[in-house]
Structure formats: C-alpha cells, structure tokens
Amino acid sequence: MSKLRFRVVEEAYNRKAVDVAIPTERPNQYYGKYVFNRQKMAQYLPQSVYDALVNAIDNKESLSRDIADSVAEGMKRWAIDNGARHYSHWFHPLTDGTAEKHDAFIDLDGKGGVVEEFSGKLLVQQEPDASSFPNGGIRNTFEARGYSVWDISSPAFILGKTLCIPTIFISYTGESLDYKAPLLRAINSVDKAATGVAQYFDPNVKHVTSFLGWEQEYFLVDESLYSARPDLVMTGRTLMGHESAKNQQLEDHYFGAIPSRVDAFMLDLEIECHKLGIPAKTRHNEVAPNQFELAPIFEETNLANDHNLLLMSLMAEVARRHNFRILLHEKPFAGVNGSGKHNNWSLGTDTGIQLFAPGKTPIGNLQFITFVVNVMAAVHRHNGLLKASIMSATNCHRLGANEAPPAIISIFLGKQLSEILEKVENSTNDELFNVSGKEGLSLGMSQIPEIMVDNTDRNRTSPFAFTGNRFEFRAVGSSANCASAMIALNAAVAEQLNYFKEKVDSRIANGEKLNHALLEEIKKLISQSKAIHFDGNGYSNEWKEEAARRGLDCETNAAKIFDAYLSEQSIEMFRKAGVFTKIELEARNEVKWEMYTKKIQIEARVLGDLAINHVVPVAMRYQSILVDNVLKLRTLFSGEKGETMSTQDVNTIESIASHVSKTKDEVAKMIEARKVANRIECEREKALAYHDTVVPCMEKIREYIDDLELMVDNEIWPLPKYRELLFIR
Ligand code: ADP
Ligand code: MG
C-alpha cells in the first residue's frame, strides 16, 4: 500500500510542465472562434434573417418559425465548417453542472444515404427525458416529458465536435426544472423595476441590465496523487488528513509566483476560454497552497453564468491535459482556505450609466444613493433567503468555518459610503439641495467619484461587500451555479425597487417634488436597513452575537437554511417577480434537501470504507510491530530495565488500540445512523437527520484517523498526506 503512495508522490514530484499549443494568431484573431456571435450570424445568415434575430435578441421578442428555420440552416453551415458533427441542447438542470444530449446532424435521404440537416424546430425545442433529472416530484416517470427551449440571448458555441445551443429546461406543465429559466425571469424583473426607478433620473432609459463578473477559485492536485485518494475521487474533498506542518501560515502563496506546471495549465485554459468567447482576464494564486483564481471581464448576467458553467467543464478537461485534477469543492482540505466564487454584481442602464457607481453630477449621485440604498433594503429583508441561495452540502464547510465568511449575510459599505449615508439620513432637504454651481449635493459629493472608484477599503470578511461600483457577493460557493444567487438577488432587488417606486410615486401624486420624495424614501430605507450594515470583522465571535441581536438570520444548519425559500415573504417576492410559483419553490427545495442528503451519504460511505479497509488494518499492523518489539525488548532486557525501555511503545500501542477501537465503534454508529435516516420519507427530515446524526460521526472518525496518521509509521501510511497533496512543484 505504502508502495503506491511513494510511487505516486514520486511521479507527481517529477512531473514537468506540459507544452501548450499556442496559436500563431493574436487573441483578437481567435477570440470567439467557436461562438456563433453576431459576426458569424452576419456571415452565415441572409440580411433579413440576421436583422430579425438581432431584433428579437435586443428587444426580447420571439422568432417566427420561418426565421428559426433560416437561423438553423445558417448555424448548421457554420458549425459544419468548423468541424461539428453533432448538435445538442445545452441546459442547466438542478445539479451543479450542465447537461447535453447529442444528436448527429444526419437524416435519411430516402435513397439509402443521409443528408446533414438541422431545422428550426430542432433548434427551438427538444424533449429530453425530464424524469432522469432532479425535479423535486414535479415530474413523475409516467409523465416524463420536459422541454428544452432555445435561449436566443446566449449564443450557440462549438464544444469539441458538438454544436451546443443554450436552452432553458421546463416541465410539460411549464414549471422550470433548471437554473436558466428563473434566472432569465429574475433578470427581466429587475430590468423592469430598475428601469422604472432610473427613469426618475433620465426618462430616456429603456432597459437596465444586470451584470455579473464571477471570480472562480479552485485547487489543483496532481492526478497521480488524486487517484490515490478515493475520497477526492468520489467526493471532491479530503475526508481525512492531518494538517501539514506548513500550510498557509507564512502567507507565501497569495499572489506568489505561479508554478510553471500551473502556469502552462492557465495559459492553455485561457486560450480555450477565448476561443469560446469567455473573456478570461485575471489569474493569480490564492491564499491556500495549490489554490488559484480565474476572473473574466464582467458580462450580462445570463451570458456570464453560461460562461462560468462552460468554464467549469473546460477546467476539468484542460487540467487533465496537464496531469492535474481540478477541485471545485468549497473545502477540499481542512485547515486551509476554502474556495468561493465571488459574484461581482451591478446594474447598468442602456444609456451607459453604472447604477452603483457614484455620479459626476448632483442628480447622478442621488441616483447612485437611491440604488445602493435599495440594495441594502432588499438584502436586509431577504438576508435569510440570500443565504439559502448560496447554501449547499459542500459550501456549508466553508461558511461559518473560521477562515470563511460566516453563515450570516451582512453588507460592507466602507468608510466613505457609510459616512455619506449617515449624512443623508441626518440631513434636511434644504441642506442637501443647497447646491452651489455644478459642485454636487452639499455632501461634499463632488469628491466621491475619484475616491470611491478606487475603493481600497477592502473587507475580505464580508459576505456581501460594496466595492466601488458594484457589490461583491462573496458567499457563493466555488462549485455552485451562480444563477442560484443571482436569481434571489435580482428578484429581491426588483421587489424592493418596485416598493420604492410605489412610495415615491404616491408622494409625487400628493404634490411633493421628485427630489424631496426620493430623499424622504431614501432616508427611511437607510434607517430601516441599518441592521444589515456591518463593516467590522465578520469572522469574530462578537459579530455572531451582535448579528443575532440585530435579528439577522444566524442559522447554520444547511437543511434548515433552505426553509427560507418557503417563507411567506420569499414566496410572495418570487411570485410578484414572476420568477417562481410556490409549487416550483417547493419542488426545488425537495431537490436541495435530497442533494444535501445524497452528498453526505456518499461521503459517509467513502469514509466508512477508508476507515475500516484502509486505515484500521494499517494501524493494527503497526501496532503489532510495536507489540513484537516490546516483547523482544522484554525478553532481551528482563525486569525493570526492559519495562522502562518499552514504556513509550506500550503507550503508543495503547493509544493506537484505543483509536482503532473508537474508529470502529464510530463507523458502526454512523452506519446505523444512516440506516435510521434512510427510512425517513420526508426529504427535509431526512436531511436534518443526516445533519444531526451522520455528520457528527464523520467528524469524530476523522479526528481519530488524523491522530492515527501521526502515530503510525510513515512508511506504511496508505494515503498521500496533506504535505504531499498540497505543494505543487
Ligand atoms: P478582486 O480584486 O476582487 O479579486 P478581480 O479583478 O479578481 O477582483 O475580479 C473582479 C471581477 O469583478 C471581474 O470579473 C470584473 O470584471 C468584475 N467587475 C468589475 N466591475 C464590475 C461591475 N461594474 N459589475 C460587475 N462586475 C464587475
Ligand atoms: Mg480576485
């Protein structure tokens, strides 16, 4: 066994960087090569079809069947010209990944041969078997129909030899079975609501776009080491492993030099990204050893999310070419930082205004404050829901752990913005609009743009931070579909902006001036949503107590956190935004609980197996070597002398024996707890049982095994250790 460990460690340490096939062209020549973007559309579609398609995309209109046929024909020609042989509707089922079902372009020609065909009908709609995807009981297998429907707002692309068409996935009765359909609905609702409010400041605004710039954190592990760790292979995280003597305490990894093997991987990945139109831009080391980050230039939220999902599958593929495995799990290694996927989110108008960026004029600043304050109010009202939107069996290891955002949602504003809001709250209208020249509101706001855009006042401990011209939702997990967070956030903000507009409109109807009406409502919101504002250290224990006093949601049990989706106010909010019906919410929660249970179930099985079949036998082998030694010592040196010489060994034998027996007991207990939990029918109750009875056993087992790792002879320890897994050479 240990032979395997030493072989894989040697293999990993000897590995050299893989050569990357760097294109001879510059990025601007291959960027978007495999994307059916507007340039390809213009090239492959008749002018009238191109115009109709672009119009439908820009104005969110539907396409006629004729046009769809024409688009399909052009798309097929482009795809075939680029080597595609199959096409697939590409969608985001309620797993953390994407789904594809490939069909060849071929059709029988009636003369014993085939033609390559692709019709508008196949482009627009298909019928994958919905019963095989998580659906929370909306589908039963007898009525398994589900439809995937073309999302014209996200361009088709070629992956390998397959033309992929982004689609939404809905049931026969119209309920969404995916992340994309509700995301599109949430984006629409925030578009409408924000446009209404933005028109107070500029009547020419017709649309507001939601933007997303995700930062993807990940770990890399050498593939030989990875395959010698069944826990990594099966669950994506290490279920055991004693902390390495050195990990991140010297803070020497963050922004450090990138190892050459990793550098090659990143370059290769970026080239692939660019060919697929993913604007990958930034890369750096992260805090933990072997941890890295990739960030693109932000894009419209739906497209950005498609790109993130595509990136996650590209990463896995490219990593293999470099003899790495990618770990997207939120907490692959205990004791070092976990991985998140910071969601940088903003709203912008079609007139080019970033609504969370301070303005250059008094009115611009009033608009900025209006939008920021409404976000605060929305996040305050729905803080429990926003937490639920990022919660999962994997992310809960990261939230609430001491080096991660806590399982409490709060907003960081920074010193300047906090001061400005305080000033607004305590000011009178006369003061504020006593404007001299073009300087700005008399808040000293003329200085805002310069200072705030360069907001260096970063607080890494906040789960939701204002960062100069956007909000950064940091609590999102590295393996998650960003849509979950983006659906809740955009819909919640839409609801709040609608409330706000109703109130302001009614003040205006009562004869108040617009600015006065806006300011009065802004002041109310500032004072009402104070509880969500926290600029201090989010990792501290004092904050947990303080947050509870403020009435923020402090629940840490993932299975209970999901309940927030089914509160009256969430159901109402999603209904009004047209994002989810109550039935959809209930079904989706069933899926969440089921997923939670299944992930822990798999981990528990793997852990039980590793404990009993890998670790315990090795520990017992070492124990018997020691026993042998003690007996021999005592034979050689009789009496007190022999006893003294073997005392340490006897202690170790006792300790090993006790750890082994406790491990066995705990594994038996864990198996029993699983059996009991598995008999529970209600998904929520089952998830709770897993949380309350299975997880604690797993934690204890790990503790015993990690102790054993320090006692047992290194030569025979079966699994690669943290110090071997974590430092790529
Ligand atoms: P950090 O310093 O937080 O690590 P990064 O440069 O790694 O920042 O990532 C910042 C992300 O935020 C990028 O994806 C960037 O495109 C995105 N971003 C910048 N401005 C905006 C904005 N206005 N709206 C949404 N995302 C934005
Ligand atoms: Mg970053």
Is the Cα dihedral 599, 605, 610, 616 positive or negative? positive
Give 282 Cα–ligand 1 centroid separation in angstroms.
9
Residue 360's pLDDT is: 76
For residue 469 and ligand 1, the question of a CB distance below 6 A is answered with yes
Q: For ligand 1, pick from 209, 215, 466 the residue to mutate: most ligand atoms within 8 Å of CB.
A: 215
Q: Please say whether the beta carbons of 650 and 674 come within 8 A.
A: no
Give 437 Cα–ligand 1 centroid separation in angstroms.
34
Ligand number, closest to the Cα atom of 482:
1
Give 293 Cα–ligand 2 centroid separation in angstroms.
7
Give the whole-number percent of the chain exceeding pLDDT 70: 92
Answer yes or no: CATH 1.20.120.1560 is held by domain 596-725. Answer: yes
Give 409 Cα–ligand 1 centroid separation in angstroms.
20
Mean pLDDT across 676-681: 97
For the chain, the C-alpha Rg in angstroms (whole number) is 29
For residue 295 and ligand 1, the question of a CB distance below 6 A is answered with yes
Indicate whether 270 pLDDT > 50. yes
Q: Which candidate, 204, 225, 553, places its Cα nearest to that of 386?
A: 553
CB atoms within 10 A of CB 61: 10
CB atoms within 10 A of CB 600: 22
Residue 440's pLDDT is: 46
For residue 470 and ligand 1, the question of a CB distance below 6 A is answered with yes
CB atoms within 10 A of CB 245: 8
Q: For ligand 1, pick from 344, 354, 466 the residue to mutate: most ligand atoms within 8 Å of CB.
A: 344
For residue 213 and ligand 1, the question of a CB distance below 6 A is answered with yes
255, two tokens: 């922004």
Ligand number, closest to the Cα atom of 291:
2
For residue 298 and ligand 1, the question of a CB distance below 6 A is answered with yes
Among protein residues, the one whose CA lies closest to atom 4 of ligand 1: 215
Q: Please say whether the beta carbons of 577 and 189 come within 8 A.
A: yes
Mean pLDDT across 364-386: 96
For residue 297 and ligand 1, the question of a CB distance below 6 A is answered with yes
Q: Average pLDDT of the chain?
A: 91
For residue 282 and ligand 1, the question of a CB distance below 6 A is answered with yes
Mean pLDDT across 647-672: 97
Residues with CB under 5 A from ligand 2 (ion): 215
Residue 447's pLDDT is: 43
One-letter identity of residue 300: E
User: In the block, which residue shows the tokens 């073997």?
Assistant: 646
For residue 718 and ligand 1, the question of a CB distance below 6 A is answered with no
Residue 258: pLDDT band (50, 70, 90) is confident
Residue 332: pLDDT band (50, 70, 90) is very high
Segment holding 314, helix H or strand E? helix 301-321
CB atoms within 10 A of CB 57: 17
Among protein residues, the one whose CA lies closest to atom 5 of ligand 1: 295
For residue 209 and ligand 1, the question of a CB distance below 6 A is answered with no
Give the count of alpha carbons within 13 A of 316, CB side only. 12
Mean pLDDT across 590-603: 96
pTM, to two decimals: 0.94
Give 344 Cα–ligand 2 centroid separation in angstroms.
10
Indicate whether 598 pLDDT > 90. yes
Closest atom, ligand 1, to C-alpha of 357: 23
CATH of domain 187-580: 3.30.590.10
* Chain segment 271-285, per-residue pLDDT in tens: 999 999 999 999 888
Domain residue limits, the chain: 31-178, 187-580, 596-725
428, two tokens: 């009178």
Give 478 Cα–ligand 2 centroid separation in angstroms.
13
Which CATH architecture best describes the domain 31-178?
A: Roll (3.10)
Indicate whether 152 pLDDT > 90. yes
Q: For ligand 1, pick from 216, 278, 292, 298 the residue to mutate: most ligand atoms within 8 Å of CB.
A: 298
